[in-house]
Structure 1
Amino acid sequence: MPSRELVAFTQQLATLLEAGLPVDRVLGIQEELTPNPRLRTIAGDVLRTVRGGSLLGEALAKHHPRPFSRLYINMVRAGERGGVLEPTLRRLAEFLEEAQEFRDTLVSALIYPSLLACVGGAAVIFLMTFVIPRFADIFRDLGSTIPWPTQVLLSLSAWLRQYWWALAGAGLAIALALRIWMATAAGRLQADGFLIRLPVLGLVIVQTEVARFARITGTLLRSGVPMLSALGVVKDMMGNQVIARAVESLAEGARRGSGLSKPMEDTRAFPPLAVHMVRVGEETGRIEEMLLKVGATFEADTRKLVKRLIALVEPCIILAMGLVVGFIVVAMLMAILSITDIPF
C-alpha cells in the first residue's frame, strides 16, 4: 500500500475524530470513502472489530505489520490510554507525512544519476555488441594491420558477444548468493557494518538511521509510550542492523537506569552531536522535544549531504562514460586512418 494513502487515511481519521464523531462512525465513513480497495477492506474489518467491543489499537493490531507498523499501533494505544487519541493521530499523520517527504527527497535526488548511468551503460553495450562488430568485418576483409587499441577493442567486443551469457549468469549467481547471505542474521550484520564504514555513503546511512531513531523515539515518548516500549519499537524499524543492535543496547541501559545519552555514547554508533543534544534534553527534562530536534537536524544534514554526493557523482559518471566512449572512438579512428595510410 502506498505510504501517501496511509497518511491520507490517518489525517482523515484524526480530522473526523476531532469533529466529535465516534470511532465506529469514523471508520464507517473511511470504509465508504477510501479509494484504495485494500485499505477500504481493512477499514471495514477494523470497524467490525471495534463494534465487537475492541479498542481501536487492538483492532489495528490485527493488520500488523502491513499496513500498520508497531509505531502506528503503539501510538494509537498510547493515545487511547491517555484519552488523547485525536491529537495523537494528528501527530502520527504529521510524522508519516514528514517521513514520506524525506524518502521522496532522497529518491528524487538519486533518479538522475541512476538514469544517467543506465543510459550510458546501454549506449556502451550497444556500441560493443552491434556497431563495432560491423567494423570488425570490414577490417577483416581489408586484411590490413590495425593498431593495438583497436585490436583490444575488437577482442573485447567479440568476447562480449560470445560469452555474454556467462557474464550474465555470473552476475545473477553473485546477486543470488549475496541475497541468500544477507538473509542470514550474521550476513546482514556484516553487510550493514561494511556499508556504514564507506567514506560518504556510510555517513549518509548513519545520519538517516539516527534521524529515524530520534524522530520515532521522540514521537512515541510525546504520545505517552514508555521509554522501553518506544526503544523496542524503534529497534524493529531500523534499516541498518548495526544501528538496531545499538538501539538494543540503549534499551538495556535504560532498563538499568542509565538514561539514554550514556548508552548512546558507549555504543559509539551515534554521532557526538546527537549524544550531546540528547544529554541536554535529559538535563532539562525535555527529552522528547530534543529527540525531535535531533531528528530534524540530521534529516536536514542528510539532505545537504545527499545533494553534495549527487553533485560529485554526476560528473564522475559523465567523465567515466566520456572516457569509455572516447576510447572507442579513438580506437576506431586509428584503425580507419591506418587503413587509409594517413599518419595518426
Structure 2
Amino acid sequence: MTAFTYKATTRDGKVVDGLIEAENERAVLIKLQDLGYLPLRITAGSKSGASVFAFNFSAQRRRKVRAKDLLMFTQELKTLLRAGLPLDRSLMILEQLTEKGVFQEIIHDVIGKIKGGKTLADAMADHPDVFPKVYVNMIRAGESGGVVPQVLEEVSAYLERSVELRTYLATSLIYPVIVSSMMIVSLLVMFLFVIPKFAQIFESSRAPIPLPMQVLMTISDFFTGWWWAIVGVLVLAVFGFVRWRQTPRGRRVWDERLLRTPVLGRLVSLVEVARFNRTLGTLLQSAVPLVQALTLVKEIINNQVIAETIEPIKNGVKKGDGLVGPMRKTGVFPPLSLHLIEVGEETGNLAAMLTQAADVFENDARVEVKRLIGLFEPAMILLMGVVVGLIVITMVFSIFSISEIPM
C-alpha cells in the first residue's frame, strides 16, 4: 500500500485535503468519489511527485506563466465545470490551489472582471501574455454555444499536444548540445593551456619546431593573445544577428533560408504544418468560423514564409474556393495534408481530418528529429576525435623530435 496525499472539492465547492493509503491512483480516485469528493490533486508519497490529476505550481513566484501551468489550469477548470460548479466558484477554487505568484493574481483579476459583468473570454483577453488569442476565441465560441466544458476539453487536448511536441524537441537537443559543448571546451583547453606548455618546452630546449606544431602554436598564440577580441566579436555578432532577425526583412530572409536548408528545412516544415493543422482543426471543433480561424492560425505560425500563405488561403475561402484549393496553390503544404483536408471537405468532417493530419505530421517530426540526431551524434564525435587526435599526434611527434636532438 502506498500513501497518497490529495486535494479535492466537495459538492458545495469547499476545498479539502488529506492522506489516503491505496494500491494505486485509480483506487484513490474511487475512494474519493465514494466520499463524494471531486479530486483535484493526487500525489504519491510526497507533494513533489504530482500525478496527472495534479495542479501543482512552483512555490517560487514566477514572472511568466508556463505553457504547462496553463494546461493544468485548463484541465482543472474543465473538471470543475463538468462537475456542475458555477464558473466563478470554479475559478475561486483554482485561485486557492495556485501558489502565490503572477498566475494567482491573474486568476483573481479574471474572477473580479467576471463578477463585474464581463464574459470569461473577455476577462481572459485582458491578459494576452497568458491566454493567447487562439485560446480566448475558442472560449468565446464555447460561451456562445453554451458548451464551455466541451470546448475546454478541446483546448486541453490542443495545449497538451503542443506542450508534448515542444518538450520532445527541446529534450532531443540536450545531448547534441552537450556533445558540441564538450568539443568546444576540449579545443579551448588544448589551445589555451596545453599547447602553451609545449611551446615553453620547445623554447627551453631551443630545438627546431616542426611545421605542424608551429601552426598549432600560432593558433594558440592568437587565442591567448586576442581572446578578449574574439569574445567581443562573438558578442557583437550574436547581438547584431538577433537585432537583424527581429526586423521584418531579417525574419523573412532567415525563415526562407531555414526552409531551404537540406535537412533542417524539412523538420521546420513538418512542425509548422502540424501546428497549422492542429490549431485550425481545434478551432473548427470549437465552432470558430473558418475565416476567423485562419486569421488566428496566422498568428501562431512562427515561420514567416508559411504564415504569408495564410492570407491567400483566407481570400480563397471568402471567394468560395474551399480550403484545399487555395492551400494547394501555395505550394507549401505536403500532398498528404492536402489529400486529408480534401477528404474532410468532401465528407463534411474537416475538423477531424485536420486533427488526423496534425497527428501524422507531429509523428513525422519526431522521426525526423531522431534521424537528425542519429546523423549528428556520430558526426560530431568523429569530428571531435579527428581534431583532438591530430592535435595529440602532432604534439607527440614534436616531443619525439626533441628527443632525437643530439645532446
Asked if 1:255 corresponds to 2:255, the answer is no
**Structure 1 stretches of at least 4 aligned residues deviating more than 2 Å after TM superposition:** none
Report how far residue 248 of structure 1 moved. 2.1
Instruction: Pick one of 62, 85, 92 that aligns with 2:126.
Output: 62
- Of residues 133-142 and 269-278 in structure 1, the stretch that sits farther from structure 2 once superposed is 269-278
Report how far residue 35 of structure 1 moved. 2.4
Report how far residue 59 of structure 1 moved. 0.6
Distance 1:171 1:24 in 2: 52
Q: Which structure 2 residue ranges, 5 or more long, are not aligned?
A: 1-64
Residues 150, 334 of structure 1: 8 Å contact kept: no
Residues 9, 34 of structure 1: 8 Å contact kept: no
Structure 2 counterpart of 1:8 = 72
Q: Which structure 1 residue ranges, 5 or more long, are not aligned?
A: none
| CA deviation string 1:132-188 (max 9, x = no partner) | 101101111111112211110011001111111222222222212211211111110
Structure 1 counterpart of 2:253 = 190
Matches within 5 A, 1:161-240: 161-240=224-303
Structure 2 counterpart of 1:77 = 140
| CA deviation string 1:241-277 (max 9, x = no partner) | 0111012221121122111111111111111211121
Distance 1:198 1:318 in 2: 23
Structure 2 counterpart of 1:40 = 104
Q: TM-score, normalised by structure 1?
A: 0.97
Structure with the largest fraction of strand = 2
Asked if 1:53 corresponds to 2:117, the answer is yes
Report how far residue 36 of structure 1 moved. 5.5
| CA deviation string 1:289-318 (max 9, x = no partner) | 110011000000000010011010000110
Structure with the largest fraction of helix = 1
Distance 1:275 1:107 in 2: 29
Structure 1 counterpart of 2:223 = 160
Report how far residue 280 of structure 1 moved. 1.4
Report which structure shows greater RCO (CA 8 Å, sep ≥6): 1
What's the secondary structure of 2:308's corresponding residue? helix
What's the secondary structure of 2:173's corresponding residue? helix
Distance 1:189 1:236 in 2: 15
Q: TM-score, normalised by structure 2?
A: 0.82
Report how far residue 74 of structure 1 moved. 0.6
Report how far residue 24 of structure 1 moved. 0.8
- Of residues 172-181 and 279-288 in structure 1, the stretch that sits farther from structure 2 once superposed is 172-181
Q: Between the two proteins, what is the percent identity of the paired residues?
A: 43
Distance 1:141 1:134 in 2: 11
Distance 1:128 1:151 in 2: 12
Residues 182, 191 of structure 1: 8 Å contact kept: yes
Distance 2:123 2:258 in 1: 38
Matches within 5 A, 1:276-295: 276-295=339-358
The letter of the residue matching 1:265 is R
Structure 1 counterpart of 2:23 = none
Instruction: Pick one of 14, 18, 22 that aligns with 2:82.
Output: 18
Asked if 1:134 corresponds to 2:197, the answer is yes
Residues 154, 285 of structure 2: 8 Å contact kept: no
Distance 2:171 2:306 in 1: 25
Distance 2:361 2:235 in 1: 36
